Structure 1
Amino acid sequence: MTVRLTQFAGGGGCACKIPPGELDALVATLSSDTSQPVAPAAELLVGLDGGGDDAAVVRLDGERAIVTTADFFTPVVDDAYDWGRIAAANALSDVYAMGGTPWAAVNLLAWPRETLPMELAAEVLRGGREVAHAAGCQVSGGHSVTDPEPKYGMSVVGMVDPARMLRLDAAEPGRALTLTKPLGTGVLNARHKATGTVFPEAVAVMTGLNRDASLAAVAAGVRAGTDVTGFGLLGHAYRMARASGVTLALDAAAVPLLADARAAAVDGFVSGGSRRNLDWVAPRVEFGALPEVERLLLADAQTSGGLLLAGEVPGHPVVGEVLPRGEAPVVVRS
């Protein structure tokens, strides 16, 4: 019997994140706390004050800083091996989104051991290890718990040059906006969960590493970036605009989409996470006459999405530009 892993999860992939508005309120309670560690062993370069970057960064010395992150989620596809690959690529992406190189990772696994065979868990771990090894990242051990809902991801440690780091609050007016992967994994994953239809292009995008795009961005002098995941392109664009004190203008027609994404959205395969994204970001976005389905696609909750970069990166589409701060943090031009 074929096991459909997505049927064991209430949400799927990064769409199962805490809604962005609730997360903002939660993080605000920590940001208001001015307590500091006793005799800290390292200087914090990027933390909560940066506006919600993809990872924490602490200085090791003048030319090196440690990047640390953790990311895990419920099954986004039914195939255990592919889910492991997707989750690992997604966790590694947090390091690439800071302009860093992942060095070592440990597994994070929650498993309903009484309802799902451990052989499937082994396939999940195998997929994760394969992608991490392809990235040149060591994988050893981790932590596992029994849980009614399966979850998998990684905690990753990497290295970055502090002078060449990517961060949310460094976007400057006059820069182009580049997006390194097409949108649409959210609606296609929703269709996959509902119907069992497999979308190989979506799997290929989600398992693809952001390594080369990150290296190219750093080499091109880009200093502002983030990866596009559970809050959708609009949500992550808003977070960058807010942190940098600018307006991001997106050209809707220039944003690349996976081949079957628009049809899936038109047919109603939109996750609750994507709709919550749009509800949260809508008051902060100037949409003009952009149709509802196009708004939903721009807010689509991505899993292991690409990098949104404030700068032009060869080989990747320009989807907008950074403007001086206007009335709306994000403007969508149709």
Structure 2
Amino acid sequence: AGEINAGDYDLALFGAHGQGKCSRSLIGSVVERVTRRIQTDALIVRNGGELRGGRVVVGVDGSEHSGRALRKAVVLARTLRMSLEAVHVFNPQFHHAIFAEMAGVLTNEAREVFNLERQKALHERIIDRGLGEVGKKHLQAAVEMAGGAGVDIETRLLSGKDFAAILDHVERTEPALLVVGRFGRHRTRCSDIGSTAENLVRLAPCHVLVVGTDVPEALRPAMAGDEAAIPSLPWTEEAEAMLARAPEFVRKMARASIQEWARRHREPVVNRDIVVRAMQDLLPETMWRGMLRPPEASGGSHQA
């Protein structure tokens, strides 16, 4: 890993197992450790299948990392004459599980105070549907990007846990290659590989290309080891106030999505106008109109 990180390499290529393979191992320990610690692209070869003329599946989630994975997949599809499919996963079951757990522990009085049934209906009607609509927008962006490079692409919207839904899909459709970004939308500062990429490297039956971070030098903080992070854009007070209208549990995701949108459009600061434009671009109308609506005045008017 040290040699790869120190050298000017474009790709690290590994067999999934070495000579010490045992029947129940998912992946070789050396391959797994090195893949976690390097920053360049890593291709893990699984079954010896031919890439040329085969099919490549790429995971997209709207993050900068999946954008790099998509660009690499498009180049590979064009160069090796492979058919290309982009998949996006959204997870409507997460909120359902939370509400089911809450229903089992709240008292009747607490259920009324929390208005549990109304909250659940709101999530099913807006949040779940909105997640699917956001996924469709990411897939449409993939179609436009591939089309601009002269490459045909199919898309598929999957539901479930990210790695499990993608794994089920590749097991069912048997592509020659799966391409994923090293990280996704929820990268934390000290992580060296995202959980989705890590699980797919271990479990996918096909070749897996993990696309490295390859962040421009100007965006890399001075750091030791492999830790890298893209600095946050500054937010104006008005933009922060608008974000605060979103439900608390989605604010982190909303902030990351808006910042990524701002970076793609080369905006140096997130202000009210950027928040409005990003939400109109990323969310279905029923969602962004609700978030842009000013909060009602508290207390109301009183008659003497």
Larger gyration radius, structure 1 or structure 2: 2
* TM-score of the alignment, normalized to the shorter chain, above 0.5: no
TM-score by length of 1: 0.28
Kindly indicate which of the two structures has a greater share of residues assigned to strand: 1
Higher RCO (CA 8 Å, separation ≥ 6 residues): 1
TM-score normalised to the size of structure 2? Answer: 0.30
Which structure: greater helix fraction? 2
